[in-house]
Amino acid sequence: MTDLRVSIVQSGSCGQDQDENVERLVGLIDEASSGGADLVVLPELSTTPYMAATRDPQWYRWAQTIPGPATKAFSDAAKRNGTAVIVGMYERAESGNLYNSAVVIDSDGNVVRGVRPDGSTVPAYRKTFVPSVVTSDIDVDEKFYFSPGDGPCVFDVAGVKLGIVICYDRSFPELWQSLVRLGAEVIVPVVSSLGWREQRFVDELAIRAFETQTWVIASNRGGEETHAGLTHSFFGASCIIDPTGEVIKRAPAHSQPELVRATIDIDEVEKQRAYFPLGRDKRWDLFDGLTV
């Protein structure tokens, strides 16, 4: 049995002082690690308010390099607590491009680079699918703030191979399947989601877990947050789902801060894949080269 002790931080209600937000998150990492944790997961863009419901270039200033001041604080917390940490943040790359990213830090405080299909590496997972969406109760324009990322990559963390998807990415099954092809045993959605998608959130993740036969560890922003005169309630419901699609743990909705803890058995991935061999019977040769 290969156990992984997991803690999800469902945070939210960020103010405009990024240093204060980071300090608060570090305290939550300390709390989530108490009693022992191998991995602590924070939501999408967790160091800043969710800015994409507005269109204002002044918020570009929140983007930080990796490594940078925020990752230094999280690295210190990871090392102090002996736990790996995944943090969603606004990244300014060496190229100058701005990304909606998730950085992975190991229990020694080192930034873990993601490995892409061609063997090249990246300093963080960068959101692949960047939305600009207006629906009945959602009006967001992430394309104003973020470039699209480099596509799927996997990270070796605590002896486990994991992939990351960020918020909107969760609705693109081909990205999840690409992570399985790269060897992912755990897939981590980091999320800041609001509006009518709450009705489908946990069910959608459960289906993805069933399809990929991976553990899913999802951290969503929770509770009310006011930014640039607009108040939104992020629906939370952070959750842990097993490789059969069974929801093991779930945080309350519209609330923060909340902590979700569980010990998961990574061997369950191989067992489920042997029991119900979707991967064995998938005919990748029919789909390689197709644009989907």
Query: How confident is the model at residue 290, as a pLDDT?
Result: 72
Residue the block writes with tokens 């959101």? 127
- Give Cβ neighbours of residue 203 (< 8 Å, ≥ 6 apart): none
How far apart are the C-alpha atoms of 260 and 240, rounded to whole Å?
8
Query: How confident is the model at residue 287, as a pLDDT?
Result: 83
At 289, the pLDDT band (50, 70, 90 cuts) reads: confident
Instruction: Give pLDDT tens digits for 202-214.
Output: 999 999 999 999 9
How far apart are the C-alpha atoms of 132 and 141, rounded to whole Å?
4
The mean per-residue pLDDT over the stretch 19-32 comes to 98
Query: How confident is the model at residue 291, as a pLDDT?
Result: 57
* Main-chain phi, psi angles of 227, to 5 degrees: -145, 130
- Least confident piece of the model among 58-72, 88-102, 277-291: 277-291
The mean per-residue pLDDT over the stretch 151-163 comes to 97
Helix (H, G, I), strand (E, B) or coil at 150: coil
Indicate whether 47 pLDDT > 80.
yes
- Least confident piece of the model among 98-107, 158-167, 186-195, 280-289: 280-289
Indicate whether 87 pLDDT > 50.
yes
Instruction: Give pLDDT tens digits for 218-268.
Output: 999 999 999 999 999 999 999 999 999 999 999 999 999 999 999 999 999
How far apart are the C-alpha atoms of 189 and 196, rounded to whole Å?
18
Indicate whether 1 pLDDT > 80.
no
Instruction: Give pLDDT tens digits for 66-86.
Output: 999 999 999 999 999 999 999
How far apart are the C-alpha atoms of 195 and 233, rounded to whole Å?
8
Domains and CATH numbers, the chain: 3-286 (3.60.110.10)
Cα–Cα nearest to 5, from 132, 127, 157? 157
How far apart are the C-alpha atoms of 85 and 102, rounded to whole Å?
10
User: Do the beta carbons of residue 65 and residue 92 sit within 8 Å?
Assistant: yes
- Give Cβ neighbours of residue 114 (< 8 Å, ≥ 6 apart): 104, 121, 122, 123, 124, 125, 153, 154, 155, 164
Query: How confident is the model at residue 250, as a pLDDT?
Result: 98
The mean per-residue pLDDT over the stretch 86-107 comes to 98
The mean per-residue pLDDT over the stretch 114-139 comes to 96
Share the mean pLDDT of the chain. 96
Query: Both tokens of residue 130?
Result: 């960047």
| Residue type, position 266, single letter | I
Query: How confident is the model at residue 292, as a pLDDT?
Result: 47
